[in-house]
Amino acid sequence: MTPAGVLAAGAASGDLFVAQNVFFGVIALVMIVSAIRCVTTRNVVHAALWLVLVLAGAAAQFILLGSEFVAVTQVLVYIGAIIVLFLFGIMLTKASMGDDDSVAGEKRLMAGLVAVLLAVVMGIALVDSYSDTRVVIDEPQRFAAVSDAIFSQYIVAFEAVSVLLLAALIGAIVVARKE
């Protein structure tokens, strides 16, 4: 979603969403700084905590777009579960205080390459699909609408993802239990 989309939404409903645009900028700035710190810090725990800020920023952006369900799910799944598992795993194994120079290994070049590649591909895909589209946001998205869409229009994809997750779950147990 681009600021242009939010702007257009404001224009469509007759007034400019000034507050939304200001907050979009502020949150985006926080997200960018946190994302950069996340990959440049030499402490793994700090990196995970910077990632929390990035993900919380994404949740806040979803709220600005009126997609409350996605925002809350972002908090529940990413901050409440995935980051907690990250931190739990880091602290259970090796959680040195201070800087750890082994973090800045020779993998940096490859990681940077992958990041640039991903940014280019996703950027082109987004611009190509949505270049002229204007998203109109009249009211917050309702939960009922989300569930109706999931269980009618996207039911096949939903079931496929559930089976995939179940398979991953069983696979994890099998790998962990090999005797």
Q: Which residues form the interface with another protein (CB under 8 A)?
A: 45-46, 49, 52, 68-69, 72-73, 75-76, 79-81, 83-84, 87-88, 91-92, 95, 97, 140, 142-144
Q: Which of 35, 79 has the CB closer to another protein? A: 79
Q: Which CB atom, from 133 or from 147, has the smaller least distance to another protein?
A: 147
CB 64 within 8 A of CB 24: yes
Please tell me the distance from the alpha carbon of residue 98 to that of residue 44, in angstroms, as a whole number: 10
Scored b (16 or more CB within 10 A) or e, 4-34 reads ebbbbbbeeeeeebeebeebbeebeeebeeb
The H or E element that residue 41 is part of is: none
Nearer to another protein, 110 or 144 (CB): 144
Q: How far is the CB of 79 from another protein (least distance, A)?
A: 6
CB of 72 to another protein, least distance (A): 5
Shortest distance (Å) from residue 142 CB to another protein: 6
Nearer to another protein by Cβ, of 3 and 140: the residue is 140
Whether residue 26 contacts residue 84, with contact meaning beta carbons closer than 8 Å, is answered with no
